[in-house]
Amino acid sequence: MSGTRQCLAPYRESMNAPTNPLKILAYSLVNILIFMWLGSYLFALSGSVMPGGLSGEISVDAGEAIFKGAGKCSTCHSIGDEGSAVRCPNFGVQLPKFAAPIGIRGGTRKEGYTAIEYMVESVYDPNAYVVESFPANVMTPINRPPIALEDDQITSVLLYLLDKSGVEVTDEIIQQVVSAQRPYKGTGGQLAAEGTGPAIRFPEGDWEEGFYVFEEMKCFQCHLVEGADFDPGVLTEEDLAGGVGPDLTGIGAIQTYEYLMESVLDPSAVVLPDPAPDKKYSGEDGTSKMPDFLDTMTARQLLDLVAYLKSLGNEDMLAEEL
């Protein structure tokens, strides 16, 4: 029997919990990490998402940061009286046009759609429903360049908008958003590859030279570019009071090269809604007030100008050049 006791002694010692404080701490941390990994793995298998307050990746706070930062959403959209953007619909209350915030009125836009389903479709397929008085083709799908947000980032933005709409963001709401996103998830690259025909590759323009084209053509007389210092030449302060055209600050970060090229060559292709009764982007015939420059700009000037427009708000592009 004594031999048996001696053989079992090491086994019994191994079964005892550690008594050294450092060993206890290490033992506890290992167990916590194992359970966290196992929990995340099981959530992934089930197709679920961790509640916004626990994840750190999907949350209302993350959505606010993306809305105002990487997503560039605030460049085009205001929320009620927060912001001054008018390029695209206001996501809050803006009387008389919008009597309810997007998280509420979205449920009345398309028959058979909940507010969440409408909001999800609107970011992945903006032209599926175009709000009255706003033109189509202004916004590209947010999961495609130039914004190209990840699906989880889009989830957070939608949760932020729901929260701003007075909707309590519960685990159930998060699941509804994620479920509505499923048909679109992972389609960013696929949509970008599909296109509508053979790709047209333009020679590369020089954005620095494009600054001077913008200045020479007096584009700043109608379009604001915050932080840019243009030489007004012989223009008077009255000449510069314009503001006839849309604000172009940061335009390169939210629009494609093709959209910017079209805007210069054919300004009436997409005419933004008038921001105020006394400030109109279009004439009485509905066409843009902007000239097309077809007879006054060389091909090189056009390429350089578009390169400059694409550089506006596109810090990554400028960093690569420097």
Q: Are residues 60 and 183 in the same domain?
A: yes
How far apart are the C-alpha atoms of 138 and 118, rounded to whole Å? Answer: 18
Is residue 106 situated within a structural domain?
Answer: yes
pLDDT per residue rounded down to tens, the chain (322 residues): 444 444 444 444 444 555 666 666 666 666 666 666 555 544 444 444 444 333 447 999 999 999 999 898 998 899 999 988 888 999 999 999 999 999 999 999 999 999 999 999 999 999 999 998 898 888 989 998 888 899 999 999 999 999 999 999 999 999 999 999 999 987 665 544 444 444 567 788 999 999 999 999 989 888 989 888 888 877 776 666 556 788 899 999 888 888 899 999 999 988 888 887 778 888 888 889 898 888 889 999 999 999 999 999 887 655 555 4
Residue 295 to residues 25, 42, 214, 230, 271, Cα–Cα distance (Å): 76, 64, 16, 23, 21
Is residue 202 situated within a structural domain?
Answer: no
Q: Are residues 64 and 184 in the same domain?
A: yes
The SS3 call for residue 282 is strand
Q: Are residues 227 and 280 in the same domain?
A: yes
In CATH, what number is assigned to the domain containing residue 317? 1.10.760.10
How far apart are the C-alpha atoms of 223 and 34, rounded to whole Å? Answer: 57
Q: Are residues 61 and 99 in the same domain?
A: yes
Q: Which of 135, 161, 193 is where one domain is finished?
A: 193
Q: Are residues 213 and 172 in the same domain?
A: no
Is residue 306 situated within a structural domain?
Answer: yes
Q: Are residues 177 and 220 in the same domain?
A: no
Is residue 249 situated within a structural domain?
Answer: yes
pLDDT for res 166:
96
The structure tokens listed for 64 are: 């606010």
Is residue 34 situated within a structural domain?
Answer: no
pLDDT for res 149:
92
Residue 142: domain span: 55-193
Is residue 198 situated within a structural domain?
Answer: no
Is residue 113 situated within a structural domain?
Answer: yes
Is residue 35 situated within a structural domain?
Answer: no
pLDDT for res 75:
87
Q: Are residues 179 and 250 in the same domain?
A: no
The structure tokens listed for 200 are: 């047209």
Place of tokens 């699906």: 151
